[in-house]
Amino acid sequence: MGFKMGIVGLPNVGKSTLFNALTRTAAAQAANFPFCTIEPNVGEVAVPDARLDKLAEIAGSKQIIPTRMTFVDIAGLVKGASKGEGLGNQFLANIREVDAIAHVLRCFEDGDVTHVEGRVDPVADAETIETELMLADIESIEKRLQGLVRKVRGGDKDAVQQERLLKQALEVLEQGKPARVVPVDEDDVRAWKLLQLLTTKPVLYVCNVSESDAATGNAHSARVAEMAAAEGNAHVVISAQIEEEISQLDLDEAQMFLEEMGLTEAGLDRLIRAGYELLHLETYFTVGPKEARAWTIRTGTRAPQAAGVIHGDFEKGFIRAETIAYDAFVSLGGEQAAKEAGKMRAEGKTYVVQDGDVLHFLFNT
């Protein structure tokens, strides 16, 4: 399981340039006019993880299969999208399908690239997008509450629960806050997710800066950092222009280019890591002579459910998981040595998989 991140933002903030760089394609037309992205572009990228390469080297794996992350480049938003302005309806429909939202914010000055509002103010841009999402949620909730009246009167338990949650969300939205701030009890988590409110999506602010500001950021990105911290959201500083240039280079050339720019790693790596943290994701590995493979799970996943990511039959017939911590596997030189040193453990159904675990599952067919 990877995850799907929607790249959103006002027109001409660098969304499509970033998408093209991340997916190493030119599928999204990056042009200097609003709505150059008419249909959402979907691209998958391999999640870089140096641990996987190391495991494959030790095990002599013939094939390396990283886990994957999906990016969705969504049409540019304008003020009034919740009322159907611009490509608003399409934007709002597409955003419901993603796990998290990356708000790309223009944090660069460039007189040759027009801004739809005629100014550079990333905080105001973020507020525009958030406001449109909140207005769309309010409209959706009001319609749904009307449709629930009869079921609630009839004592339908699911309808009563749904009405209660919708009213909780509406209360905070009318206060100008996103629905993600609503405290949700464990018993309500499933029903809450089914509401599919736009403002419950986790948010990652992507500060798109010029090449010269890529290493240190600038005054615009500093304001975004303050805003993100106040909201409890995450942010990363990236130069979409640099990412686009890197995407055309081989690994050695890309590393040299990054060093020249004063950067230790590509923006893609930082963006994925921030996305993982945002969605509470982690990675475990399966390693053998045929292949070394990475698998993505949510933090706190138990062994049978982790096995189910590979195949549903693994979860249904789960017996136990044989696990070696990544550090032990590497320091001891592989599975057999780790086993002989007593570093391989047999874990049952209640075991919570840890990030970096090297796992082998035993199951009944």
Please give the Cα distance from 74 to 39 (Å, whole number). 7
275: exposed, middle or buried (C-beta count within 10 Å: 0-12, 13-18, 19+)? buried
C-alpha closest to that of 15 among 103, 136, 134: 103
Q: Which two tokens stand for residue 309?
A: 């990511």
Which bin fits 303, alpha (ψ -120 to 50), beta or left (φ > 0)? alpha
Is there a binding annotation on residue 14?
A: yes
Is there a binding annotation on residue 16?
A: yes
Is there a binding annotation on residue 15?
A: yes
Please give the Cα distance from 236 to 7 (Å, whole number). 13
Is there a binding annotation on residue 177?
A: no
Is there a binding annotation on residue 12?
A: yes
With H, G, I as helix, E, B as strand and everything else as coil, classify residue 220.
helix
To which residue do tokens 């100008």 refer? Answer: 176
Rounded to 10 degrees, the C-alpha dihedral 151/154/157/159 comes to 10
Number of H helices, E strands in the chain: 14, 12
Please give the Cα distance from 326 to 358 (Å, whole number). 6
To which residue do tokens 């086993």 refer? Answer: 339
Known binding-site positions for ATP:
12-17
Known binding-site positions:
12-17
